[in-house]
Amino acid sequence: MSSQQLNQRVQNNSASVFVGLLLGISDLSVLLGSFCLAAQVRKALIPYLGGEVSWPVYQPLIFLGMGYVAILFYFNDLYPGYGKTAVKEIEKTSTLLSVIFLFLGGTTYFLNVYEQFPRSIFILAWILCIVLIPLFRFFIRNRILKYSWYGIPILFVTDGMGVNATLTALHNCRRMGWNPLAVFSVENRKQGLENISIPVISSWDKFLDIKKKFGVNIAIFSADNNQENSRWIRNISEEFKVVTLIIPYYNLGSLWVKPRDLEGRLGLELTFHLLDGGSRYIKRIVDIVGSTLLLFFLSPLFIFLSIMILIESSRPVFFRQERIGKNNKNFGALKFRSMINNAEHELKSYLENNPEAKREYERFHKLSDDPRITKMGKILRKYSLDELPQLWNVLWGSMSLIGPRAYMPSELDEIGDFTNIILRVHPGMTGWWQVMGRHTTTFQARLRMDEYYISNWSLWMDLYIFYKTIWVVIQGTGT
């Protein structure tokens, strides 16, 4: 190995160690802070609940918990955690934290110290960790993924099938930390490789030289399913530690696909998670509890916004817009009024006189410069505050906190083949397409994102969308 190759590997490894240390310090700090906060809350409730909180008792347990977090997170590849989607990272961290807290709770019971260290502290600290550790990880990755040293190098092998779509997906999901260096073209095929942004290598020996120079352990193979390409899979597996197979023809897009061995043939088990009865029941409980709490804590904001709307443009404060709900039943989605009165007539007239705006509306079903929106309405829409009254829709059962987009009746024909999937669940106040694409996403792309959400639903996915929604609202990138 040359000195240049050695230096390149050292740089890659150093960056990975730095990211791992940064995440580790964050995880342990949040764990410590969660325990301290939970203990202080419980201590403040001693006059009402009795009991006691003893620092000498719970200090060793906290350090034990920090040790378990460091060890289990490391051996479950969460430091630095490259190659994982945000949803998978949340699912993994939440599962490991639950195991750790169950063990710590059992330890206090067997040591007979639960009277000096109430189990309510564990419950509150566990909830705080489940929420805050992924949130801090999300924040850290969003800050450092912009740097070129973030991530690890990977290589592509392809016959031209699906490589552009895969490169685009990796670019859009930079947090995964997979940085493609080059593409090896099987049999020197150029079809499908004309406009890619990384070098195309036609020599297998040169391709392996790049692998050695940068210490690449991961290869992505995207090609048609034939006997010749099966031979290439064996060749790649001999050179790379990890090989990821991309199926170009099927946009399965599932976080929870299960492999099945059918007498030596690969089978993939797929499910639409949100169509399961048990999943719907859990989601409904979350909706009722979440909407009730949010309505309670946001009531001062509701009053303030209502007053501001009245000051600017009089009544009505609220606007009810007809939308398509579950099982193709229409309902009235509540919003703070952000437009002038008689807005639909104004839109029709505006589009008739502005061909460019008409084309934009036909493509996105939204206008970047909508003349119907009031001054207060622009603020409401920028931070998505106009949709807060839909919490009542969630509580009443016509919407969900998180779900597919609530489509208008006029869009039913355009939904097309997606109707049988999307309209079998409640629409959401926020959802996958809202946080991943916002108003720049085309209508067909939104439909595909909604189907992806229904297929891949989990509590972890909803938690990630909740985090992203907060981020989007703070940034003011609403519609």
Express each pLDDT in 209-222 by its tens digit: 989 888 899 998 88
How would residue 358 be classed by pLDDT, with cut points 50, 70 and 90? confident
Report d(CA 296, CA 289) in Å as an integer.
Answer: 11
Model pLDDT, residue 4: 52
Instruction: Specify the amino acid at residue 159.
Output: D
Cα(387)–Cα(349) distance, rounded to whole angstroms?
26
Average pLDDT over residues 447-459: 89
Residue-by-residue DSSP string for 406-444: ---GGGHHHHGGGHHHHTTS--EEE-HHHHHTGGGS-HH
Q: Which of 250-259, 295-304, 306-315, 419-428 shows the lowest mean pLDDT across its residues?
A: 250-259
Task: Enter the tokens of residue 453.
Answer: 């959400």
pLDDT tens sequence across 19-74: 999 999 999 999 999 999 998 888 888 887 777 777 777 788 889 999 999 999 99
Q: What is the pLDDT of residue 192?
A: 61
**What is this structure's pTM?**
0.83
**Residue 1 pLDDT:** 46
Percent of the chain with pLDDT over 90: 38
Average pLDDT, the chain: 84
Assess whether pLDDT exceeds 70 at residue 226.
no
* Whether 300 contacts 307, CB under 8 Å: no
Q: Is the pLDDT of residue 447 over 80?
A: yes
Predicted confidence (pLDDT) at residue 403 exceeds the cutoff of 90: yes
Give the tens place of pLDDT for each residue, 318-336: 989 899 999 999 999 999 9
**Residue 321 dihedral angles phi and psi, to the nearest 5°:** -110, 135
Tell me whether strands 428-430 and 400-402 are parallel, antiparallel or unpaired: parallel
Residue 300 pLDDT: 95
C-beta neighbour count of 82 within 10 angstroms:
19
Burial of 321-341, coded b for 16+ CB within 10 Å and e otherwise, reads eebbbbeeeebebbbbbbbee
Closest CA to 463 of 88, 69, 125: 88
- Tens digits of residue pLDDT in 162-203: 677 788 788 878 889 999 988 888 876 666 666 777 888 888
The C-alpha atoms of residue 450 and residue 453 are separated, in whole angstroms, by 5
Place of tokens 């099945």: 260
Q: Please give the full DSSP string across 281-347, using - where no structure is assigned.
A: HHHHHHHHHHHHHHHHHTHHHHHHHHHHHHHHH-S-SEEEEEEE-GGG-EEEEEEE--B-TTHHHHH
pLDDT at 127: 94
How many CA atoms lie within 13 Å of 140's alpha carbon, on the beta-carbon side? 21
